[in-house]
């Protein structure tokens, strides 16, 4: 038994889904947070599942993620719909509601943000909504996760029964077009009503053509064209789509007039939002303010001054080295375990995993602070503020969502580009996102920077992140001036009101990222550390050979000359970079194993910083490359995503080394 959850972006749909299913889909206040549908069991409703569809303003898909909505309505088997609505923005939200009600599927309308609406001095009369629309309706505050509200949702879902499709009085030309298309549709047109399909075709829903096998597509398109001409001829509207929209808008105004009740005179919260926005999104100092906020976040996460993450990492390192590794070594010695197994576990597995996990506290602090920013609604303002700036490089404003996601992991960031409708802008974003420093690279920065710099660590790591952003923008501009020429698409983004972030949600997001990070440590890093240690301690002469005569030294030694101009032309450094293609976290663990913890002795300031620059920009990990291939469906762009970053990283790392080593003698 399936129920589909549909609604506009930023109406609290994911929060509602979390509460109803006891799951935790990522919750944020920027567009595109839900990229694919998600399914989970509904609490206290045995056998019932809830499908969380991507947020959309319209049934007609404008981007790949919105196409999931049309596909699900046409092809999936489901018992009913839950349409979640932002009570404080009824005029905009009810357009999608009208489209869903015209389908005639049993529907429960959930008016969310009841508390915010009351703060504005209004309430929704759900009884009048039910009478007006012949549909089940309730009012809730999903953020509060009130058990009574959740029980009421389940109760009303169980009451859902088939009802007549909503019928609006469209202009005569539109009604005739509906009848003409209806007569052309086959009788076996799946489970969806033919009148709804006809209306969607007139509205320009290309997803209908894509997801249904329409035998008379040319005839249907001819009817749509003729109705468009008739609408223009009779001056009904400026377009056929406009004629349909105007009819719905007039009906929505009737609903609001009838069902939205003012109970108290209050200053609307939007005025508060506007006052704050004038300062935060100011055209002159809005972006510098954002940069200052992000610098503060990195200082708290990595710096020595106010460095909460740095302090926690110190305690974690003491625990790992002085307690876990030390007592494990003593245990092995007590039971007489030595040689190969002792070295594999102590110097291979524990040294490798510890070299990465030691930075876990910094990662948790970083993403906790970013989650707080998301939860307040600030990141949506950043997207709008950055739109004009990003468009100069060929990006769409929605590219800010994948870019921000890329700081966590590049794979979901690339998948998040599905919210970008324009194919040119989408591929441009996919190809440049890998330059953004993901959390997997943090251990590399932390390890090298902490070993060769006594101070300014937070500033240096912040600079590495800025470099990644700069290279992303430069590469986008370069591609935009060459291969991806063309005018950019329009950017539309919902601006949510400012809200206090929920501590529960913020902590869950941070701990979820930490869990994925630890999971990688238990898979890629564990396996990679074992393989690296074995290769580094075995050679043609057997076990425990001189490292310079090991299998790993022979493999990496053949190509180490490539990195000599960058200052780190050793087989150890070369091997660690090769391992990074498996997973970036493995680079840090490789360095710990191969240099036996003596990172400071292996790098100078110039070679160490050049290494960090190269590692931050070079070839993406294998998971990212596979995702690029899946999303672009292009071998050409997949190869480009591997070759181009290598040369960019090489040039920039060489420049850094040349300036610091030759220019300053560091």
- Is the torsion defined by CA of 452, 453, 458, 463 positive or negative? negative
Whose tokens are 């707080």? That residue is 372
Q: Look at residue 83 and tell me whether its pLDDT is greater than 90.
A: yes
> How many structural domains is the chain composed of?
3
- Quote the tokens at residue 516: 């994925």
SS3 of residue 441 by DSSP: helix
Q: Are 243 and 175 in contact (CB under 8 A)?
A: no
Residue 215 confidence class, pLDDT cut points 50, 70, 90: confident
What is the DSSP-derived secondary structure letter of residue 137?
Answer: E
Give dist(CA 422, CA 64) in Å, integer.
10
Q: Say if 276 falls within a structural domain.
A: no
Report residue 309's pLDDT band, with 50, 70 and 90 as the boundaries. confident
Q: Which residues contact 571 (CB under 8 A, 6 or more apart)?
A: 548, 552, 553, 556, 557, 560
Which domain-ending residue is among 159, 193, 209?
159
Residue 269 located in a structural domain: no
Nearest to 92 by CA among 328, 256, 236, 290: 256
Query: Do residues 614 and 454 lie in contact, with contact meaning Cβ atoms separated by under 8 Å?
Result: no
Task: Answer whether residue 537 shows pLDDT above 50.
Answer: yes
Long-range contact pairs involving 303-309 (C-beta distance under 8 Å, separation at least 24)? 303/457, 303/458, 303/459, 304/455, 304/457, 304/458, 305/458, 307/457, 307/458, 308/365, 309/361, 309/362, 309/363, 309/364, 309/365, 309/366
Lowest mean pLDDT among 98-102, 197-201, 284-288, 349-353: 349-353
633: left (phi over 0), alpha (psi -120 to 50) or beta: left
* Angstrom distance (rounded) from CA 139 to CA 598: 62
In a domain, 268, yes or no: no
pLDDT tens digits along 363-383: 788 778 877 887 787 877 777
**Cβ contacts of residue 612 below 8 Å, gap of 6+?**
444, 445, 448, 449, 464
Task: Give the E-state strand segments of 555-596 in sequence order.
Answer: none
Residues 382 and 496 in one domain: yes
Residue scoring higher pLDDT (406 or 105):
105
3-class secondary-structure state, position 35: coil
Shared-domain flag, residues 181 and 153: no
Q: Do 147 and 199 reside in the same domain of the chain? A: no
Please indicate whether residue 317 or residue 569 has the higher confidence score (pLDDT): 569
Residues 238 and 316 in one domain: no
Is pLDDT at 34 greater than 50 in this prediction? Answer: no
Domain's final residue, options 115, 135, 159: 159
Residues spanned by the domain of 342:
287-664
Enter the tokens of residue 73: 């309505």
The last residue of one of the domains, among 97, 126, 159, is 159
Between strands 80-86 and 107-112, the pairing is: parallel
Across 9-18, 251-260, 332-341, 446-455, the highest mean pLDDT is recorded for: 251-260
The answer to whether residue 101 sits within a structural domain is yes
Q: Which of 472, 287, 476 is nearest to 393 (CA)?
A: 476
DSSP state of 107: E
- Residue 571 counted as domain residue: yes
Count the neighbouring beta carbons within 10 Å of the beta carbon of residue 533.
25
Q: What is the mean pLDDT of residues 349-353?
A: 76
Tens digit of pLDDT for each residue in 254-264?
Answer: 999 999 998 87
Q: How many CB atoms lie within 10 A of CB 34?
A: 26
Contact 518/380 with Cβ under 8 angstroms? no
Alpha-carbon distance of 411 to 628, in angstroms, equals 8
Specify whether 240 is located in the same domain as 291.
no
Residues 287 and 469: their CA atoms lie apart, in Å, by: 14
74 pLDDT more than 70: yes
User: Tokens 């569809």 correspond to what residue?
Assistant: 53
Same domain, 249 and 386: no
Mean pLDDT on 536-555: 78
Q: Are 640 and 506 members of one domain?
A: yes
434 and 530 co-located in one domain: yes
Give dist(CA 201, CA 195) in Å, integer.
10
187 & 143 share domain: no
**Confidence class of residue 653 from pLDDT cuts 50, 70 and 90?**
very high
Residue 488 lies in a domain: yes
**DSSP of 375-423:** HHTHHHHHHHHHHHHHHTTT--GGGHHHHHHHTT-HHHHHHGGGG---H
Percent of the chain beyond pLDDT 70? 88
**Cβ(159)–Cβ(136) under 8 Å?**
yes
Query: What pLDDT does residue 637 have?
Result: 92
User: What pLDDT score does 397 carry?
Assistant: 66
Comparing 10-24, 72-86, 348-362, 566-580, which segment has the lowest mean pLDDT?
348-362
- Please compute Rg for the chain using Cα positions: 29
More confident residue, 506 or 97: 97
Confidence of residue 617 (pLDDT cuts 50, 70, 90): very high
Residue 29 scores a pLDDT above 60: no
Helix (H, G, I), strand (E, B) or coil at 394: coil
- The SS3 assignment for 478 reads helix
CB 94 within 8 A of CB 58: no
What pLDDT, on a 0 to 100 scale, did the predictor assign at position 35? 46
What tokens does 252 get? 């929505």
Judged by phi (left if over 0) then psi (alpha if -120 to 50, else beta), residue 380 lies in alpha
Enumerate residues 6+ apart whose C-beta is below 8 A from 88: 113, 116, 117, 120, 269, 497
- Confidence at residue 82, expressed as pLDDT on a 0 to 100 scale: 94
Q: What percent of the chain has pLDDT over 90?
A: 22
* Average per-residue pLDDT for the chain: 82
Q: How far apart are CA 249 and CA 125, in angstroms?
A: 20
CATH number at residue 25: 3.40.50.300
| Highest mean pLDDT out of 65-69, 430-434, 435-439 | 430-434
Q: Please, which residues have CB within 8 angstroms of residue 233's CB and are 6 or more apart in sequence? A: none
Question: Is pLDDT at 266 greater than 70 in this prediction?
Answer: no
Separation of alpha carbons 439 and 626, rounded Å: 19
SS3 255: helix
Write out the two tokens for 102: 């015209």
Spatial distance between the Cα atoms of 316 and 98, rounded to a whole number of angstroms: 55
Phi, psi angle pair for 4, to nearest 5°:
-95, 135
Q: Who has greater pLDDT, 28 or 153? A: 153
Question: Is the same domain home to 78 and 140?
Answer: yes
Residue 337 lies in a domain: yes
Distances (CA, A) of 408 to 194, 370, 434: 44, 10, 11
DSSP code for 63: S
Same domain, 203 and 330: no
pLDDT for the residue numbered 125:
93
Tens digits of per-residue pLDDT, 329-348?
Answer: 888 888 887 777 887 788 77
Q: Is 336 within a domain?
A: yes
Same domain for 153 and 176, yes or no, is: no
Task: Work out the burial of residue 292: count CB atoms within 10 Å of its CB; fewer than 13 is exposed, 13-18 middle, 19 or more buried.
Answer: exposed
């Amino acid at each position: 038994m399936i129920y589909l959850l549909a609604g506009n972006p930023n109406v609290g749909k994911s929060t509602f889904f979390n509460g109803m299913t006891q799951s935790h889909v990522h919750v944020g206040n920027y567009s595109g947070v839900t990229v694919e549908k998600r399914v989970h069991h509904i609490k206290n409703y045995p056998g019932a599942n809830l499908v969380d569809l991507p947020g959309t303003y319209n049934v007609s898909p404008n981007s790949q993620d919105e196409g999931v909505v049309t596909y699900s309505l046409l092809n999936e088997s489901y018992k009913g719909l839950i349409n979640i609505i932002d009570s404080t923005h009824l005029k905009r939200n009810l357009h999608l509601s009208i489209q869903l009600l015209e389908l005639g599927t049993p529907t429960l309308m959930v008016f969310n943000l009841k508390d915010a609406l009351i703060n504005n001095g209004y309430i929704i009369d759900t009884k009048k909504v039910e009478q007006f629309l012949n549909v089940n309706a309730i009012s809730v505050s999903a953020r509060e996760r009130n058990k009574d509200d959740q029980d009421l949702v389940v109760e009303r879902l169980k009451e859902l029964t088939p009802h007549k499709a909503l019928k609006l009085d469209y202009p005569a030309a539109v009604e005739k077009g509906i009848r003409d298309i209806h007569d052309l549709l086959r009788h076996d047109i799946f489970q969806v009503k033919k009148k709804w399909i006809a209306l969607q075709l007139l509205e320009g829903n290309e997803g209908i053509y894509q997801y249904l096998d329409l035998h008379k597509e040319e005839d249907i398109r001819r009817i749509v064209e003729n109705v468009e001409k008739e609408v223009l001829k009779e001056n009904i509207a400026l377009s056929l789509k406009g004629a349909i929209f105007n009819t719905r808008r007039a009906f929505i105004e009737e609903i609001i007039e009838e069902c939205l009740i003012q109970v108290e005179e209050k200053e609307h919260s939007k005025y508060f939002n506007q006052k704050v926005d004038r300062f935060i999104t100011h055209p002159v100092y809005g972006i510098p303010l954002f940069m200052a906020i992000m610098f503060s976040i990195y200082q708290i996460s990595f710096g020595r001054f106010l460095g909460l993450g740095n302090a926690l990492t110190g305690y974690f390192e003491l625990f790992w080295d002085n307690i876990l590794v030390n007592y494990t070594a003593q245990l092995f010695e007590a039971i007489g375990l030595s040689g190969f197994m002792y070295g594999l576990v102590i110097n291979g597995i524990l040294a490798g995993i510890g070299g990465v996990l030691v930075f876990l506290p910094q990662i948790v602090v970083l993403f906790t602070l970013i989650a707080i920013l998301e939860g307040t609604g600030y990141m949506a303002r950043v997207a709008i503020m950055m739109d004009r700036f990003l468009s100069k490089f060929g990006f769409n404003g929605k590219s800010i969502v994948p870019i921000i996601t890329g700081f966590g992991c590049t794979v979901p960031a690339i998948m998040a580009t599905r919210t970008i409708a324009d194919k040119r802008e989408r591929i441009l974003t996919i190809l440049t996102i890998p330059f953004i420093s993901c959390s997997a690279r943090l251990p590399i920065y932390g390890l090298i920077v902490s070993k060769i710099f006594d101070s300014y660590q937070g500033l240096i790591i912040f600079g590495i992140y800025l470099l990644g952003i700069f290279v992303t923008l430069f590469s986008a501009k370069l591609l935009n001036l060459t291969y991806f020429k063309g005018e950019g698409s329009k950017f539309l983004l919902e601006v949510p009101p400012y809200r206090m972030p929920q501590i529960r949600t913020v902590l869950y997001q941070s701990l979820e990222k930490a869990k994925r990070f630890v999971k990688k440590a238990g898979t890629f890093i564990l396996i990679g550390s074992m393989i690296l240690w074995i290769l580094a301690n075995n050679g043609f002469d057997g076990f425990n050979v001189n490292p310079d005569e090991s299998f790993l030294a022979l493999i990496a030694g053949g190509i180490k000359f490539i990195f000599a101009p960058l200052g780190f032309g050793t087989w150890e450094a070369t091997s660690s970079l090769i391992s990074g293609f498996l997973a970036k976290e493995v680079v840090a663990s490789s360095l710990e194993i191969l240099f036996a913890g003596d990172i400071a002795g292996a790098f100078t300031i110039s070679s160490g910083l050049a290494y960090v620059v190269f590692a931050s920009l070079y070839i993406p990990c294998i998971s990212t490359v596979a995702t690029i291939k899946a999303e672009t469906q292009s071998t050409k762009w997949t190869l480009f995503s591997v070759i181009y970053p290598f040369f960019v990283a090489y040039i920039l790392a060489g420049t850094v080394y040349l300036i610091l080593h030759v220019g300053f003698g560091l």
